[in-house]
Amino acid sequence: MKTPQPSHPLPDGDVLYRALIDRDSRFDGLFVAAVKTTGIFCRPTCRARKPNPENVEFFAAPRDALLHGYRPCKICSPMGLPDEVPDWLQPLLDEVHAQPERRLTDRMLRDRGIEPDRIRRWFQKHHGMTFHAYCRALRLGLAFGRIREGDDVGPSAFGAGYDSLSGFTESFQKTIGFTPGESRDRQVVRVARITTPLGPMLAGATEDGLCLLEFADRRMLETQLTRLRKHLAAEVIPGQSDILSAIASQLAEYFAGERRTFDMPLVTPGTEFQQRVWEKLRTIPYGETRSYQQQAEAVGQPSAVRAVARANGDNRIAIAIPCHRVIGKNGKLTGYGGGLWRKEYLLNLERSASS
């Protein structure tokens, strides 16, 4: 039986109203805005006319607005998750992921009843690139994997759907950041967005394991990606892998209250001290918390509370390495890169499932 998801706490009302006025997509999925004068609730990105602040109230989830008598907006359809793949697109994505080497032209898209401009707009909004750029990255990632496994560059290029070796080399270097011949000494981090009740997360994985899981709106995300490139001598490209599919599935089970631990390999480059801190984080039981002082003692350096807090903040794999379970000595919630309201939600979810 699934555990009901607790409604998450919301940021300050002024922050929410500013997000509504600015149509800030970072908040899509984190709240809905209900207009008292119309009885309708919307996503923060809705293009409908924005209400005056005294006429709007905010809810953490669509169901909360429904229970207060509001109706969903017909323009922005707030009942679905913002990053869900629409029904008209899912079969095409399944085909692309199953056969990434196959090139799809605009004419082929139209033959499937999909307007190229429509799919381009969706990919620009949700992935920051065009559909064709996404497909190209998948093909190049496939070729990279084959070269890493020992295949020659030529067969790898043709197997990825390229007709010209020179065109493949140019596209490979432009997209991935190094030449095909350097692939055996380099890595690629494949990244994908994952929809969660707390907003989209960005997951990244090498061939060895999960190396990134961050909320997409975290300010340090670009810094973390830069550090990964440096630590792993890797480039970051969009793509899919068995590890990314596994973390998406396990996150869904976690948020449903059906999973307490994550059982995939992790890649966590860092200092020896950071490694010890992150390892100790994984020993905090589900549904329980530990103070920063207790965490420092667990690491074996009771006076290094601030250093432990910094290492917690440098954790690149949220939830699976549960830095949200570390709280202040007085029991108050402090220090979470994803926002304290998310930290509160995660702790409430775990306590609810435990009980």
**Pure H helices in the chain:** 13-22, 62-67, 90-98, 106-111, 116-127, 131-148, 153-159, 165-176, 221-232, 242-255, 272-281, 292-299, 305-313, 340-354
Picking from 116, 142, 111, the residue whose alpha carbon sits closest to that of residue 130 is: 116
Token pair for 151: 């295949």
Contact 73, 41 (CB under 8 A): yes
DSSP single-letter state for residue 99: -
Judge contact between 206 and 268, C-beta under 8 A.
Answer: no
Q: What strands, in cross-sheet order, belong to the sheet with 56-59?
A: 56-59, 32-35, 40-42, 71-72
* Residue 197 and residue 9 in contact, taking contact as beta carbons nearer than 8 Å: no
Output the DSSP codes for 125-165. HHHSS-HHHHHHHHHHHHHHHHHHTT--HHHHHHHTT-S-H
* Distance (Å, whole) CA 87 – CA 70: 26
**Annotated active-site residue in 73, 135, 211, 323:** 323
Amino acid letter, residue 179: T
Which candidate in 42, 46, 135, 211 is catalytic?
42
**Pairing mode, strands 210-215 and 201-205:** antiparallel
Q: Give the whole-angstrom CA distance, residue 109 versus residue 86.
A: 16
Q: How far apart are CA 9 and CA 76, in angstroms?
A: 23
**Which of 301, 302, 290 minimizes the C-alpha distance to 329?**
290
Residues with Cβ within 8 Å of residue 299, at least 6 apart in sequence: 273, 276, 277, 280, 308
Q: Which residues pair with 32 in a beta bridge?
A: 59
Tell me, yes or no, if 135 is annotated catalytic: no
- Render 175-214 in DSSP notation, one character per residue: HHSS-GGGGGG-EEEEEEEE--TT--EEEEE-SS-EEEEE
Which residues are marked as active site? 42, 323
